[in-house]
Structures are given as C-alpha cells and as structure tokens.
Amino acid sequence: MIRLILLFSLFSVSGLAQVSHNYVAAKMNGVMANEDGTTIPIWGYGNYSAGVIDTITLPGPLLRYNFNDSVNIHFWNDSPEDHTIHLHGLDASQANDGVPTTSVAINPNDSITYKFKAKHAGTFLYHCHVTTTLHLTMGMYGMLVVDYPGNLLYQNGPGYNKEYTYLYSDMDRTWNFSPISPGPFYLYDPTDFYLNGLSGTQLFDDTTQIIRIYPQDSVLLRLANVGYTIVEYIFPSLMNATIEMSDGRPAPSPLAKDTLRIYPGERFSVMMRPDFMHYGYIEVNSINMFTDSTLYTNYIGINEQFHPTGIADSSRDPDWTIYPNPNNGQFTIQSISAGNYHIYNISGALIKQMSLESGDHQISLDDLNNGVYYIVDAESGLYKQFVVAR
C-alpha cells in the first residue's frame, strides 16, 4: 500500500492535533480470494457509516491519525459472537485495552467507543482479543499509523518523501474452513503467508505494492508482523536500509541492516535511501518459530514489475517500443506518451533525463559504452530495457 507524500504540512504540531472519530465494525461472513483461486472464509473489520458496513477485508482498513490526536474508535460488533479491538502498542488505558478478561468483551450487536491519545508517532496494530489464537488467523487485524507532521518519522526525526506499509500475516486455512472445530491450537500449521493480504504474484498484480524508488528518494517502509511465524526481510544492499524506529519509539540510533527479522507483534520503520537506480526485490521469508526453517518466500518488487518466477503480465509492459534493439546508441522510441523519462545503466547510475512529447523520438547517445540500459517512465515506473552493442 503506497502513500505518496505530495504536500508538506504547513501546520504546527499543536495545530494538527484534533479529536478524531472512526467507525469500525466486526463481521464474520467475509471471504478473500487467494492466489491459487481458492475463496477462503474470513472474519474481519470494515469501516461503516450511516449503518452501512464496507465489505470486510484482510487485513482490516488502515487506521490513520495525527500525532497528539484524541482518538475515538466507535466499534460495532455486527456478528453472532463476542469481539473487541485491542490497540496493540498504543498503551491504552485498561478500559480501552480491548481484552475481555481485563477490559470488556463486546457482545453481538453491541458497541463501544475506544479512546486513546496518540502520544507517539509510529506504526501500530489493532486486532481482536477474544479467543485470540483463533480470531487472529480468521483475519481480525489491521495496521494503525500515527503520523508526525511534516513527513517526519517523529519529532526531530528523519523525513521521507514516499511511504509503503506492509502488514505480514499467515493463516492455517483449515481453521478458516472449520472455525468451530479447528483442533488443538498448538497444532496451528500455516498454509498461507500474506503481505497486506496478498501473496506470491498477487503482490505484483496489485502494482501499488511495488516500491517505486529512485536515487535521492527517502522511502519509508512501515513493517508489522501479526502472524504466527517470523518474517525476515532481506533488503538489497543498494537500498542502504536503516532501521529508524520500532514499536512506536525511535531507535537509540539508526541501525543499518540488510536483513531484518520481525517477530509476532513487532513493528519496524525502515528507511531506504539508494544512491543508484535498482531493479530487484525485497525477499520476505516466513520462518518457523521452532525449527528456523523457511516455510514460504514472498517478494516485494523494487521498480521490478514481475514476480521472480517470471510470470509476465503484459498489461504492465509499456505500450511504447524501442528499435532497433540492440543498437549502437542511436535508436527510436515509438509511440511514447508525453512525460519525463530517465535512462539508467545496469548499475543503476542515472545517465540521462529527458522530457518528451508524445509520439516518436530519435535518440542519439553515441557516448554510451556497450551494455544494458533502462528507459524508465519517471511517473509510472514502467520501463524498457535496451542493449548497446557496437
């Protein structure tokens, strides 16, 4: 899920603080389409207004507030069983903690307003805390973000110009198909592994999941794990990844890491500030808590449009062409749309920036060395590869 930062705030911190209201409902009659075409029953959350509840999704809707907001989440349980919202990491008071034994369970067709003060910017979770072992794998969770003004991570923290959120979860689908008799909970055996409710090629079919990052960008990744397994992110070293925050608190100092393991319940804010253009992947491994074995690998594209299995989606090929290809540094771009285009070499170094009108264009780059190059649509990220061979 991408959020492009288009406008920088002109407001002071205190000026942004407000009373915020959300309307969230729980339902137990959802379905999700899995990568293999299976339709899986889910329970979950959806926004509602005027008594009409949005279709519930996995994960639930992203809840987003400003730093210092006084938050009111109006929760309606439109289902036949008890549910709650636990505000994971918000340090809410006991009454607003969403735990049946220490707070209160919300009965069917009952409601409550959860309140908290957004005292810390960062990445958080919300989830049901009724029979949590079952209700989580059924899908009752989502991400909650508290933004600091001015596109800063936190007060006096680093800034960013793009943001992506990835909520990791897993599922034992046999439980979803039989939630009344899922078997002993210690036999949970995950069958499906999701980022934002998507898996495998779905993370490329939904192009908003692909990270579009260029040199000089400062891209924030909000990463959270609400699964039952470890999630391991392996960042390409060219991304210069640093961990800046965890669990809504700044790191004592930024921690440079190419591999980050996130355990159930944890959240991390990672900045990527590449010096060079790069096409590739963040590898996302799901790892068993007992055996350390890798159960599944997802991939997040970095400017790369296709899953590494190579299953191409022609809809994400640009509709313009290059000929001849290979060429001697002189070539034609045919049927291109008006816009800004960049040429990078295979190491990611920026070679040329061009502003082109729509139509055909003769390009002469006689000083290019032999090798592989990319022409990239700076807005969409779609690209064509060409080869110079003299």
Least CB distance from residue 124 to other proteins, whole Å? 9
**Is there binding between residue 181 and other proteins (CB under 8 A)?**
no
**Is there binding between residue 8 and other proteins (CB under 8 A)?**
no
Round to whole Å and give the CA distance between 62 and 167.
10
> Of 98, 126, 125, 123, whose CA–CA distance to 113 is shortest?
98
**Would you say 287 and 296 are in contact if contact means Cβ atoms under 8 Å apart?**
no
Task: Say how many residues touch other proteins, by CB under 8 A.
Answer: 42
- Please state whether beta strands 249-256 and 219-225 pair in parallel, antiparallel, or not at all (unpaired): unpaired
Round to whole Å and give the CA distance between 6 and 15.
20
Return the residue of 230, 282, 333, 336 that touches other proteins, per CB under 8 A: 230
**Would you say 71 and 116 are in contact if contact means Cβ atoms under 8 Å apart?**
yes
Round to whole Å and give the CA distance between 156 and 158.
7
Return the residue of 44, 59, 89, 348 that touches other proteins, per CB under 8 A: 89
129/342 with CB nearer other proteins: 129
**Is there binding between residue 255 and other proteins (CB under 8 A)?**
yes
Return the residue of 14, 101, 156, 181 that touches other proteins, per CB under 8 A: 101
**Is there binding between residue 254 and other proteins (CB under 8 A)?**
no
Q: Can you spell out the DSSP letters for 235-294? A: --GGG--EEEEETTEEEEEEEE-SEEEE-TT-EEEEEE--SS---EEEEEEEE-TTT--E
**Is there binding between residue 341 and other proteins (CB under 8 A)?**
no
Segment near other proteins (CB under 8 A), from 94-102, 158-166, 214-222, 301-309? 94-102
291/315 with CB nearer other proteins: 291
**Is there binding between residue 184 and other proteins (CB under 8 A)?**
yes
**Is there binding between residue 183 and other proteins (CB under 8 A)?**
yes
Q: How many CA atoms does the CB half-sphere of 289 hold within 13 Å?
A: 13
261/273 with CB nearer other proteins: 261
Least CB distance from residue 187 to other proteins, whole Å? 7
Strand partners of residue 259? 234
Q: Which of residues 270-299 bind other proteins (CB under 8 A)?
A: 289-291
Return the residue of 148, 188, 344, 373 that touches other proteins, per CB under 8 A: 188
Q: Is 185 helix (H, G, I), strand (E, B) or coil?
A: helix
**Would you say 133 and 183 are in contact if contact means Cβ atoms under 8 Å apart?**
no
Return the residue of 29, 38, 55, 133 that touches other proteins, per CB under 8 A: 133
291/355 with CB nearer other proteins: 291
131/337 with CB nearer other proteins: 131
**Is there binding between residue 228 and other proteins (CB under 8 A)?**
yes
**Would you say 275 and 300 are in contact if contact means Cβ atoms under 8 Å apart?**
no
**Is there binding between residue 148 and other proteins (CB under 8 A)?**
no
DSSP 367: T
Residue ranges of E strands in 128-234: 141-147, 162-171, 192-195, 219-225, 230-234
Return the residue of 12, 29, 38, 93 that touches other proteins, per CB under 8 A: 93
**Is there binding between residue 88 and other proteins (CB under 8 A)?**
yes
Round to whole Å and give the CA distance between 35 and 268.
27
Round to whole Å and give the CA distance between 84 and 75.
8
Side chain identity, residue 135? H
Segment near other proteins (CB under 8 A), from 42-50, 161-169, 182-190, 203-211? 182-190
Return the residue of 14, 39, 49, 94 that touches other proteins, per CB under 8 A: 94
Give residues with Cβ within 8 angstroms of 390, minimum separation 6. Answer: 328, 329, 370
Segment near other proteins (CB under 8 A), from 57-65, 91-99, 149-157, 201-209? 91-99
Strand order in the sheet with 339-345: 350-356, 339-345, 371-377, 383-388
Chain residues binding other proteins by CB under 8 A are 86, 88-89, 91-95, 97, 99, 101-102, 131-134, 136, 183-188, 228, 230, 246-249, 251-252, 255, 257, 261, 263-267, 289-291
